[in-house]
Chain A
Amino acid sequence: MKKKATMLSTLAGVVMFFALWQLLALIINRPILPSPLEVVPLFLRNITGELGLHFLASAARVLTAIILATLLAAPLGLALGQMPRLDSVIGPLIAIIYPIPKIIFLPVIYVLMGISDLSKITLIASIIFFQILVVVRDEAAGLKKELILSVKSLGAGRRALFKYVYIPASIPAILTALRVSVGTAVAVLFIAEQSLTSYGLGYYIVIETYQVLLYPEMYTGIMGMGLLGVLLYFAIYSIELKVSKHMFLDGH
């Protein structure tokens, strides 16, 4: 997405979304799809209470995973991008692991790491980790030789190259990778939270509401999780707009 999303287009999207929801609720007309007119007020009331705690628990897990994955993957990606020989050794392994859906390791991670937040965070982080690793590596490897030579000729050694070239070159790539992987991260979180925890939107949606047929409440959980994905997406997007101005220029 290299086109700016404006305030107006976002608002239009939100209005259309709720209109469609209301329309479907009217057509289906069953308890499993309550109207937004019922869910939204309930959501607003509950978000300051118990629902808010579930929301915070989920948000904290995703954010921790994002930070952890970025801190580990970005330096490794930079190193691999600059060391083609090392990359030619490790690259094939990464290429195999990258497309494997990490969620399938959920039981393994639970057994190895125990029933803690750490295991859920690790699972999510492992998804984001590979996304960032690959884009940062490719970005660092793709920098033109002439660019590096020119900056070296200005006196830059390894440290200055990192500061002025490699890091600024990889930040936009990191943000794009994060933006496209938050959706998957929240999806995995939803599954991971269905067991072995008592806080988190996944737990709230499946255990506390769905299984006891509290459909309107269940929808407040779904709204919360949807909102979490949307907020993360737009937060990253707005940082992208700020730091990668050169990519959003007119006629570019």
Chain B
Amino acid sequence: MIDVKDLLFHYGDGIELFRDFSFHVNRGEAWTVIGPSGCGKSTLLLLIAGLNRPNAGKVIVGGQHITRARPSTGLVLQDHGLLPWATIEKNTRLGLEVRKFYGPDGKHSPADLQLDEKEDNRRVNHWLTWLGIDNLKKMYPSQLSRGQRQRAAIARTLVLQPDLLLMDEPFSALDAPIREELQKVMNGFHLESGLTSLTVTHDIEEAVVLGEKILVLHDHCNRDPMIIDNHLSGKTDKRKSPEFIDRCVQLKDILGSRSSVEQED
């Protein structure tokens, strides 16, 4: 589903975040990306989303070389990105409106786009209900809690039926109980839909809960991806189990050693 090949990326300051960096995500896998702040994890997500361009190398998603936002890739950012002047319902419809605006051009919207008002309405209602915010349809984002806003942002993305879901620290700004609740929601969604997803987080527990595979980045130029297979994802009820805690400790050690090694360089 995602093929990152020999990626080279640096911002204007010339400090390289990625060099010769390659990894592969299979269809249907749920990945998490973890690392200290400044390690390039958000950058990597935007590169895959097509909202950032690599200096060299390629990002291929669904067989398509990514040079701009891909219509079937969904993106949810930490700061929900809802339009403050539109109701939750209108916000949820925004992607559909944008698609209608361009028509099925294959660039801004899928080439096989079907414009069906009834089906669109059904989908909007379905996802709002599924995320438990259908009663807030007529409200504006400022009237909602952070968790509710983030649910709306997720609904807006899922309405477009993406085949890949990218999330950047989606639950970081939320209180612990709401964060855990939404993690559970997303786990359930993954089991149900088998949607390929990649979630960036700085939270070790979240990385373990959401990621079948965990990609660990570090705050120096990333070359060899470190990938941890994690069968504990989705086991939200096992947060307190020794196994789960061991995995968290393991991750913590990796993150700690990786950055301390860098400091010695």
Q: How far is the CB of A87 from chain B (nearest CB, A)?
A: 19
CA distance A144 to B76 in the complex (A): 15
Are the CB atoms of A160 and B101 closer together than 8 Å?
yes
Whether the pair A160, B142 counts as a contact (CB closer than 8 A) is: no
- Whether B85 lies near A155 (C-beta < 8 A) is no
Any A CB within 8 A of the CB of B98: yes
Flag if B73 contacts A153 (CB, 8 Å): yes
Q: A154-B156, A245-B140, A249-B142 are in contact. Are A168 and B81 (CB under 8 A)?
A: no
A50 interface contact, C-beta 8 A: no
A198 to B133, CA, bound (A): 62
Question: Whole-angstrom distance between the alpha carbons of A156 and B76 in the complex?
Answer: 15
Contact A146–B85 (Cβ < 8 Å): no
| B83-A146 in contact (CB<8A) | no
B160 interfacial contact with A, CB 8 Å: yes
* Chain A residue contacts of B71, Cβ below 8 A: 155
Interface size on A, residues (CB 8 A): 25
- By size class, the interface of chain B is 35 or more
> Residues 72-113 of chain B: 1 if any A CB is under 8 Å from the residue's CB, otherwise 0?
011111111111111000000011011101100001110000
B232 interface residue, CB < 8 Å from A?
no
Interface-centre pick from A146, A165, A244, A252 (highest chain B CB count, 10 A): A146
> With a CB–CB cut-off of 8 A, which chain B residues contact A147?
79, 81-83
Alpha-carbon distance A149/B166, docked complex (angstroms): 13
Can you name 18 A-B pairs with beta carbons within 8 Å? A144-B81, A146-B77, A147-B81, A147-B83, A149-B77, A150-B75, A153-B74, A155-B95, A155-B109, A156-B108, A157-B107, A160-B98, A164-B94, A165-B83, A245-B140, A246-B85, A246-B141, A249-B143
